[in-house]
A = this chain, B = another copy of it.
Amino acid sequence: MTGDPEPAHREREAVAALADDFLSGLREWLTIPSVGADPAHHADVGRSAEWLASALRADGWPVVEVWDSGPALPAVHARWPSDDPDAPTVLVYGHHDVQPVDPVELWHTPPFEPVLVGEELFARGASDDKGQVAMHLLGVRAHLAATGRTSPAVNLVLFVEGEEESGSPHITRLLDEHRAELASDLIVFTDTPLYERDAPTVCTGQRGQYAADVVFTGGTSDVHSGRAGGGVPNPATALARLVAALHDDAGRVGLPGFYDDVAELSETERASWAELPFDEAAWLSANAGGAQAATGEEGFTTLERVWARPTAEVNGIAGGYTGPGGKTIVPASASVKLSFRLVPDQRPEHVADQLRAFVAAHTPPGVRAEVIERGAGAPPYAVDLTHPANLAVHDALEAALEQPVRFSRTGGSGPAAILHGWLGAPVVYLGVTLPGDRIHAPNERVVVPLLLRGAEAAAHLWRLLPGRLS
Interface positions of A (Cβ within 8 A of B): 207, 209, 211, 213, 218-234, 236-237, 239-241, 243-247, 283-284, 287-297, 302-303, 305-306, 309-311, 313-322, 325-332, 334-337, 339, 341, 364-368, 374-375, 410-413
Contact = CB atoms under 8 A, between A and B. Distances in A.
Contacts of A240: 239-241, 243-244, 314, 317, 336
12 contacts: A207-B226, A223-B291, A226-B341, A228-B306, A230-B313, A231-B306, A233-B293, A241-B243, A293-B365, A315-B330, A317-B322, A325-B374
A288 B241 contact: no
Nearest to A323: B316
A282 to B, nearest CB: 13
A209 B313 contact: no
Given A240-B243, A296-B231, A309-B230, A326 B291 contact: no
B316 A320 contact: yes
A222 B289 contact: yes
B317 A334 contact: yes
A289 to B, nearest CB: 3
B316 A228 contact: no
* List of 6 A-B pairs having minimum Cβ-Cβ separation, nearest first: A293-B366, A226-B412, A219-B289, A244-B244, A316-B320, A240-B243
A221 B314 CA distance: 15
A290 B220 CA distance: 6
A379 to B, nearest CB: 14
Task: Choose among A247, A320, A368 the residue with the greatest number of B CB atoms under 10 Å from its CB.
Answer: A320
A225 B293 contact: no
A291 B226 contact: no
A223 B287 contact: yes
A211 B328 contact: yes
B321 A316 contact: yes
A417 to B, nearest CB: 13
Contacts of A330: 288-289, 313, 315
A288 B326 contact: no
Given A219-B290, A225-B315, A305 B411 contact: no
A320 B335 CA distance: 12
A416 to B, nearest CB: 13
Contact of A211 (B287, B318, B326): B326
A209 B296 contact: no
